[in-house]
Amino acid sequence: MKVPFLDLKSHHAPLLDEINRAIQEVIESAAFAGGPFVADFEKDFAAYCDCRHAIGVGNGTDALWLSLLALGVGPGDEVITVPNSFMATAEAISYCGATPTFVDVDERTYTMDPAALKGALTSRTKAVIPVHLFGQPADMDPILQFAREHGLFVVEDACQAHGAEYKGRKVGTLGDAAAFSFYPGKNLGAFGEAGAIVTGDDELQKKIRTFRDHGQVRKYHHTFIGWNCRMDGIQGAVLRIKLRHLEKSNQLRRSHAAYYDEVLGEIEEIATPLESTCVRHVYHIYAIRVQERDEVMRRLSESGVACGVHYPIPIHLQEAYRHLEFHPGSFPIAERCAVEFLSLPMFPELTPEQLEIVACGVREAVGAGVTT
């Protein structure tokens, strides 16, 4: 039996009748760009996040970018983030005209190391973007304390952490604003591209809503230069249905992760992910660390187990950011993770048989002549 890395067909199959009816409603109403279906989803997602406001946008990158713009981040500013994230985290900073600067991550949680923030602070620092990587919340209390002490904004990159919690609070409610992605493979995924910003700040949400619609406060009345970042009506309708099933899906992911932890956790050659104390990890990605990762991945592929790599080149070593003049060794933990991370199949519909096949495949691949 082959085990896919992700199986969206099995994820959507039980919901298709309901989703098709919702899409038909959008078609009949012709509310394709923004409109009532998006507004209904915004209301539901804000309630789910225990936050006052949710603003639907075109994708997670829009969500990061508009959050920074609305907070006044612009040319000459610097924003501190981490190098082991998807490129969009840094891109959003750059598209504000600001400069991303990086700090390394914690050895076991792979999220921002709060102790490293002081070394990255300059007179130009305007904001911090901690990334809740793979569904694991960053250690927010010391990050927020540092930000308060130095007058910095905090934008949570929660694009991989729908439903994750830090000390009993949902991610997205901890900083000034938070960005979520609803890319199809996420814990809460759309039928295409979509994203959202959540915030408890009434004035900030008004500004973000204006930015996402060409700077309009009402049609043809533009108070400032914005952009077209609206969410599609179809995506709002689909996401509203899928949101009702998110908690069940997250619990299944946590159950699968517990199985992987139990079966793989005692193998010396494997570092399984750590769920930090006082957090609820939602395992968008289940990434182990192994030596000779590419060889292990090749052996797993031969045995029918599909895996992924997140992310093979840290942002600071990407060609696009060569001008920042970072070099190998700048952030050793993030760089080590880049060559050791191996993401195993993780989706709610994984069967016990599939989980066993993956675990056996990993044990065999790691033990089949791979050195440590």
CATH of the domain at 318: 3.90.1150.10
* DSSP conformation letters of 269-299: T-BPPP--TTEE---SSEEEE-TTHHHHHHH
The domain tally of the chain equals: 2
Same domain, 299 and 205: no
d(CA 122, CA 124): 5
Same domain, 122 and 181: yes
d(CA 323, CA 191): 36
pLDDT of res. 370: 45
Same domain, 216 and 86: yes
Sheet holding 99-102, edge to edge: 53-57, 195-199, 177-181, 153-157, 125-128, 78-81, 99-102
Helix ranges (DSSP H) in 229-350:
233-243, 246-264, 293-302, 332-340
Q: Are 190 and 197 in contact (CB under 8 A)?
A: no
Same domain, 140 and 13: yes
Domain extent for 168: 8-103+113-243
Same domain, 339 and 232: no
- Residue 195 forms part of a structural domain: yes
Strands 169-170 and 286-289, bridge-based pairing = unpaired
Tokens of 148: 């308060």
Same domain, 89 and 141: yes
Long-range contacts (CB closer than 8 Å, 24 or more residues apart) made by 215-222: none
- Residue 163 forms part of a structural domain: yes
Per run of 10 residues, the mean pLDDT along the chain (length 372 residues) is 96 97 97 96 98 98 98 98 98 98 97 98 98 98 98 98 98 98 98 98 97 94 95 98 98 98 95 96 98 97 97 98 97 98 98 98 81 38
- Interhelix angle 36-48/16-29, rounded to 10 degrees, is 140
User: Would you tell me how many other CB atoms lie within 10 Å of the CB of residue 255?
Assistant: 13
pLDDT of res. 367: 86
72: left (phi over 0), alpha (psi -120 to 50) or beta: left
Same domain, 161 and 39: yes
Residue holding tokens 């993956």?
A: 358
d(CA 317, CA 68): 23
pLDDT of res. 351: 98
H/E stretch holding 54 reads strand 53-57
Same domain, 277 and 192: no
